[in-house]
Amino acid sequence: MATALEFSRSQDPNGTTIVAARGEIDMSNAGSLRDALRQAAPNGNILIVDLTAVEYLDSAGLTALLDYLPRLRLIANPLIEPILTMSGLGTITTIRGGS
């Protein structure tokens, strides 16, 4: 059974919006990710997406993230690092934590 996708939003010390996702991102909920990102940074500002609590990310989730290039910065865990690297998003990703 898939882990439900949840979001929270905060700001870093510089005022940049951070959207933290938790759960699994796939075709069934990638639209929710896209909506959360659109609501978080509607003015084209830099957007940090924290994926450290994401357990699964498929191509639909990647597509939602790609819509926000080049203003996107990612924080991820080692579990999803390979897919981010293969997609080219590895260059804008900081890897944190254990798998």
If we measure between CA atoms, which residue out of 6, 88, 24, 14 comes closest to residue 47?
14
Q: What angle separates helix 59-66 from helix 30-40, to the nearest 10 degrees? A: 20
pLDDT at 98 over 70: no
Does any domain span residue 20?
yes
Number of structural domains in the chain? 1
Question: What is the domain extent for residue 22?
Answer: 6-95
Q: Given pLDDT bands bounded at 50, 70 and 90, which one contains residue 3?
A: confident
In a domain, 1, yes or no: no
Which tens digit of pLDDT belongs to each residue from 20-50?
999 999 999 999 999 999 999 888 889 999 9
Each residue's pLDDT tens digit, 39-90:
998 888 899 999 999 999 999 999 999 988 889 999 999 999 999 999 999 8
CATH code of the domain in which 62 resides: 3.30.750.24
pLDDT of residue 67: 87
